[in-house]
Amino acid sequence: MAIFFYSLVAVLIALGVYVASAYNRLVALKHNVKTAWSNIDVLLQQRHEELPKLVATCKQHMTYEQETLERVIQARSQVAEARESSNLSALGSAESLMTSSLGRLFALAEDYPELKANESFQQLQNRISSLENAIADRREFYNDSVNQNNIMVDAFPSNLVADKFLFIRNKQFEVEEHKREDVDMVALFD
């Protein structure tokens, strides 16, 4: 009888240690996802603040490219709305529009030598390009954090702990399907 009791106590202790360990791992993963998203959000905010300066600089030199400038402004607005509502699918679409709008703007800048030579424009272009690269890096880190979280939430037996304590799967930050295709460089210059 004593062996059965000690065995039962040992199993319950092992189970308790596992549940506590799984719970703590799930908490850590949940916070990693939140931190990764916050890092993206900070960079998106920085880019949001830099874009009006870029558009204002371009307006001084680009008299015939209002449509392109309006697209950048519209994309900026869509990104801000999606960010504020934490809508990842809308943010993915808005980010795709932002990337293509900025690509077109930078391509058109080639046609304006005085703009291209403008020191303020060059600094802003470099700043926004570096922000774009940082955002891409942070998206990768976010998606990796989400993937680790989702594996833990779905895998047995940690899914039992996740279900019991209401841990959820998170959504990956995805780019629209057409943005995965090769860029048509000719269309950028039309």
Per-residue pLDDT tens digits for 4-40: 889 999 999 999 999 999 999 999 999 999 999 999 9
Provide the pLDDT for residue 185.
Answer: 44
Pick the CATH number of 23-188 from 1.10.10.10, 3.40.50.620, 1.20.1440.20, 3.10.180.10: 1.20.1440.20
Question: How would residue 177 be classed by pLDDT, with cut points 50, 70 and 90?
Answer: low
Structure-block tokens of residue 94 = 């808005």
d(CA 146, CA 141): 9
Sign of the CA dihedral 33, 38, 43, 47?
A: positive
Higher pLDDT, 20 or 69: 20
Whether the pLDDT of residue 188 is over 60: the answer is no
Task: List the single range of 16-25, 101-110, 162-171 with lowest mean pLDDT.
Answer: 101-110
Mean pLDDT of 42-65: 85
What burial class does residue 11 get, using C-beta atoms within 10 Å of its C-beta: 0-12 exposed, 13-18 middle, 19+ buried?
exposed
